[in-house]
Amino acid sequence: MPIVPVYTGRFAPSPSGPLHFGSLIAAISSYLQAKSQQGNWLLRIEDIDSPRTVPGAADSIMRTLELFGLYWHGPVIYQSQRLERYQDIFNQLKQQNLIYGCQCSRKQIAEQGGTYQGQCASLGLTTGRLAWRLRANAKENFTDLVFGEQTISAEIAAEDYIIKRRDGLFSYQLAVVVDDWDQGVTEVIRGADLLEMTPRQQALFQLLQAAAPQYGHIPLAVSAPNMKLSKQNHATDIRNWPVAHTLAKVLQFLGHPIPLELKAAPATELLSWAIKNWQIAKVSRQYEILHTEFL
């Protein structure tokens, strides 16, 4: 009999600030998608970008998840503790000539329209302050669990992107794939801001000869058109928001308004109702939604 992998989902916040309404939506949607299938839901702290890591943010995120009754399975993984593993994968890709050194500055790339054009691909650079780029093999299409058939820009698909930065830090793109692989993640549910990056991640899985998870993206909560709610634009910490009320707002955002008879129910009851009634097909296919409609 074939071994059917246990559904494994995850929430992977970057600890650059406390949990806000937008990241709570990502947490709850991935949680419900996992729990409605008796799956495991993991927590990974994506602190790979150390200059952007805010001390205490990871703990604050975890305490807020607990307040909402979102308990994760197993130990929490921290990317900052996995650098050796990323280095091994980096070495393997380098040996296979799948990556190359690049000396282009951000300024140069901005001047040519913001997309790197492959200038260093055949230079064989090995010394100096280099960034390391992966030879692109991303497709332009993929099927999203929420948005259906997606086509991303040809430029993004073709761009040889950075997997190790000039300052020596591994990029999110490398770490996220290695982690999802190592943690046996079968499905990724996350914010629609990462939709365009999905073919890159699928392609990297393929290079590593690993099975890629399925991907589903959730509409972004925005404070104004094109203005993602984020830690950078000081979206408010939800730690002190009333839990049941906030949970109901998130469920409404996700296309699951709670029934009238549960209006005064405690958060634990709302969460159980949501697990039983969750259907990802009910999530809106709007790329972004004004979050003020839900507060």
- Cβ neighbors of 141 (< 8 A, separation 6 or more) are 149, 150, 151, 152, 199
Q: Which of 13, 22, 101, 213: binder of ligand GLU (CB under 6 A)?
A: 13
Residue 204 contacts residue 177 (beta carbons within 8 Å):
yes
Chain-centroid distance of CA 40 in Å reads: 17
Distance CA 147, CA 171 (A): 26
Count residues contacting ligand GLU (CB under 6 A)? Answer: 7
Does position 199 interact with ligand GLU (CB under 6 A)? The reply is no
* Nearest residue to 94 (alpha-carbon basis) of 163, 159, 44: 163
Q: How far is the CB of 13 from ligand GLU (least distance, A)?
A: 5
Does position 77 interact with ligand GLU (CB under 6 A)? The reply is no
Phi and psi for 79 in degrees, rounded to 5? Answer: -65, -30
Does position 64 interact with ligand GLU (CB under 6 A)? The reply is no
Q: Which residues of 89-117 are buried (b: 16+ CB within 10 A; e: fewer)?
A: bbeebeeeebbbbbebeeeebeeeeeebe
Between strands 220-224 and 227-228, the pairing is: antiparallel
Q: Which is nearer to ligand GLU, 102 or 174 (CB)?
A: 174
Q: Which of 27, 29, 42, 46: binder of ligand GLU (CB under 6 A)?
A: 46
Distance CA 28, CA 67 (A): 12
- Cβ neighbors of 170 (< 8 A, separation 6 or more) are 48, 83, 86, 87, 90, 163, 164
Q: Which is nearer to ligand GLU, 14 or 29 (CB)?
A: 14
Does position 67 interact with ligand GLU (CB under 6 A)? The reply is no
Does position 19 interact with ligand GLU (CB under 6 A)? The reply is no
Does position 218 interact with ligand GLU (CB under 6 A)? The reply is no
Which of the ranges 10-18, 203-211, 233-241, 281-289 carries the binding residues for ligand GLU, by CB under 6 A?
Answer: 10-18
What does the per-residue mask of binding to ligand GLU show for 153-192, with x meaning CB under 6 A? -----------------------x-------------x--
Which structure tokens are listed for 131? 């960034």
Q: How far is the CB of 214 from ligand GLU (least distance, A)?
A: 13
Which of the ranges 11-19, 106-114, 123-131, 132-140 carries the binding residues for ligand GLU, by CB under 6 A?
Answer: 11-19
Which residues of this protein are in contact with ligand GLU, per CB under 6 A? 12-14, 46, 176, 190, 194
